Chains A and B, each alone.
Chain A
């Protein structure tokens, strides 16, 4: 059973009638790691926004954990992101005024988890940051910050992780370490991972690569 289903998904931006995504169709199974690759402007980020319920397709259907995004109003999309999706961003996007522990606890608190501190601490231990729980992001290295972001994305047990250029702000050593960590942790939790990247090394870690060219999936 696929956790992500995209069926003939189109995104056309008006005015100018720009076809950013054209007829994308694919399924992703739980635990699968899929890399979306392609040149700039090929529609990778637009596709990621649609998978993240932040942008509606012009045509076609996207289902996340059996839930059709087209059936959801804004509040339903927010709830879906809160429960079913984890995000990892290129610039980490941690809350600078919160400690590593508090950052990881945010999605758990959004879900009303009473044991958010304990679960956040466990998640940070699993990404090797047990000794950095009370550190503010500014006191952590780029690699450590991205580990916190991975812990945050996985803490609430989402069905899908959407990662936008997760190694883009890291050197090659840290980048590889981070992507290995992401794939390991996602496999352990059975979450599907969709990574938008330019980094060809990721294709070695991914189970599958979707290559986008001018909005079309050119190769699977």
Chain B
């Protein structure tokens, strides 16, 4: 029976093109929107997610990573003396202004880490030139290549002025894109303090904690929270979630993405629904004939669902190809678009749902057709 459905679908090339365009459009829109959202979210909490710390200590009620405020650095000693803590390191974060060699000013986000602490304690990743320890021995910084569009094409050895201090580029990374428009500038903890002197030498912005083996991270975090009532103590997962939640809900970004995704879905349903319905109406006499000669609900559904299924498969394939093309282009332009395997499965499911949903009206019409109409010439 599916032969009838597919032949009918292929018969009208214009209608088929409109159907496939509708699905492809919806698939591309959904993919790119979700991919951009995931890219933004990944960027928003990348420093937390890539860290080795189990617990993050941040200023009271700080809404997200980028909005954290200074608090007394001496808290780190309290943390280190708390049972269940294996290791604790400070990490500085501060907003600053960079004066560009070509003139003009750009805002940057300074991350001051301890180069000797090892990987996962605030160090940059994705290094293509230099290493994490390259920031030692002077006002040296590491920037990401994605900052070129804002800071200019900096090379190792070039100098940049941040908050009135001349710093030298000691390394380059690739793939570290903050969610905000201000590029990250990695420096040693001491250099970061010198650049962002407004933080205060006696203050820090984060304390990163690793729980001792055999200790429950949640319990250690609760113990620290009792000892440090003037800051927030969170597990890394909670800290990451809080940052993502802020950008998703508080800024309205998530709603914007959701709206566009729903728009894509409904455009798809409408376009596909209309074309499949028009096809059903055009072939209503054939459906009546099939019912007259003994075709039941099962056969009619096979025909309609085969049409919806083929349209979904082709539209999904074209849409996925298009989305990966656009995603690649966006990534080259500095926008982070992420398509994890789970997203491929999810969009496939949404596409099938969209096409089956779009065929509901046709199914209703076809199932109700009176086989006796075949006797009217």
Contacts and interface: CB of A to CB of B under 8 A. Distances in A.
Contacts of A102: 3
Contacts of A82: 293-296
B1 A109 contact: yes
Interface string A128-158: 0000000000000000000000001000000
A109 B295 CA distance: 10
Contacts of A18: none
A98 interface: yes
Contact of B374 (A78, A83, A89): A89
B289 A89 contact: yes
Interface stretch (A20-28, A62-70, A162-170, A182-190): A162-170
- B285, B293, B295, B377 pick with most chain A CB within 10 angstroms: B293
B237 to A, nearest CB: 55
B4 A98 contact: yes
B11 A97 contact: yes
Interface in B80-102: none
Interface string A50-83: 0010110000000000000000000100110111
A216 B67 CA distance: 91
Contact of B372 (A54, A86, A109, A110): A54
A91 B377 contact: yes
Contacts of B11: 96-97
A85 B372 CA distance: 14
Contacts of B375: 45, 48-49, 89, 164
Q: How large is the interface on B (under 10, 10 to 19, 20 to 34, 35 or more residues)?
A: 20 to 34
A86 B293 CA distance: 7
A107 B375 CA distance: 18
A107 B3 contact: no
A176 B3 CA distance: 33
Nearest to A82: B294
Contacts of B318: none
A98 B293 contact: no
Interface in B1-60: 1, 3-4, 7-8, 10-11
A81 B289 CA distance: 11
A87 B292 CA distance: 8
A93 interface: yes
Interface in A95-141: 95-98, 102, 106-107, 109-111
A90 interface: yes
Contact of B285 (A78, A81, A93, A98): A93
Interface in B337-377: 370-372, 374-375, 377
A65 to B, nearest CB: 14
B371 A54 contact: yes
B294 A83 contact: yes
Contact of B296 (A45, A78, A86, A97): A78
Nearest to B289: A93
Contacts of B291: 78
A159 B374 CA distance: 20
B374 A97 contact: no
- B3, B290, B292, B370 pick with most chain A CB within 10 angstroms: B292
Contacts of B374: 87, 89, 93, 164
Interface string B118-134: 00000000000000000
Nearest to A52: B292
Contacts of A96: 11, 286
A86 B294 CA distance: 9
Interface in B265-309: 285-286, 289-296, 299
A81 B7 contact: no
22 contacts: A48-B375, A49-B375, A54-B370, A75-B296, A78-B295, A79-B294, A81-B293, A82-B294, A82-B296, A83-B294, A89-B375, A89-B377, A93-B292, A93-B374, A95-B4, A95-B289, A98-B7, A106-B293, A109-B1, A110-B299, A152-B293, A169-B377
Given A49-B372, A102-B3, 18 more contacts: A48-B375, A49-B375, A54-B371, A75-B296, A79-B296, A81-B371, A82-B294, A93-B289, A96-B286, A97-B10, A97-B11, A98-B3, A98-B4, A98-B7, A106-B290, A152-B293, A165-B377, A168-B377
Interface of B: 1, 3-4, 7-8, 10-11, 285-286, 289-296, 299, 370-372, 374-375, 377
Query: Can you list the 10 inter-chain pairs with the closest CB atoms, starting with the nearest?
Result: A82-B294, A97-B7, A54-B372, A93-B289, A81-B294, A90-B377, A78-B296, A49-B372, A110-B294, A164-B375
Interface of A: 45, 48-49, 52, 54-55, 75, 78-79, 81-83, 85-87, 89-91, 93, 95-98, 102, 106-107, 109-111, 152, 164-165, 168-169
